[in-house]
Amino acid sequence: MITAIALSVVILLGTGAGLAWTVRLVRVGNLDALALADKIAVPEPVSALDWPELRVRAIVPQPDEQPLVLLLVSWPAHRQREATLLVALDRDDRRSVALLSQWCSSRASIAPTRREGAGLEFRRRQSLERVHGVLIAENYVAAGPA
């Protein structure tokens, strides 16, 4: 009797975990699809925030009071397109610099999204990891063929 109850509990927990994982995968897939649909609406991007995907090539945290980060990003599909972004992170956010550094070292695919005003969000594709900030300045370069 106890064995049957324990087996039932294990099966229910396994089913619940499987459903939770499926819901997470569907949510992440929907976020990726919505981000891509938004980007297709901009045929000629004039900003790195309009790219469907970017990669962080370098991150330089500024050593002053305001949490500023200098990012060198590129568009993997168009290697000649690069941008340097100056981003202000939330003062209380201790995790963003570590996430950006991790994404840089792992060459992760990032979905940039504009938010209200100069706000932005970077989300690692196929993940729910996000970094929020405010775009202070951007130097967009569309160089010649690589």
Per-residue model confidence (pLDDT) at position 146? 47
Identify residue 67 by its one-letter amino acid code. P
- Which neighbouring-strand residues pair with 84? 72, 139
Backbone φ and ψ for 39, nearest 5 degrees, come out as -75, -30
Query: What's the predicted TM-score (pTM) here?
Result: 0.70
The burial class, CB within 10 Å (0-12 / 13-18 / 19+), for 86 is: middle
Q: How far is Cα 102 from Cα 113, in angstroms, rounded to an integer? A: 19
pLDDT in tens, 40-70: 665 677 788 888 889 999 999 887 766 899 9
Report which of residues 35 and 97 the model is more confident about. Answer: 97
pLDDT band for 136, please (50, 70, 90 cuts). Answer: very high
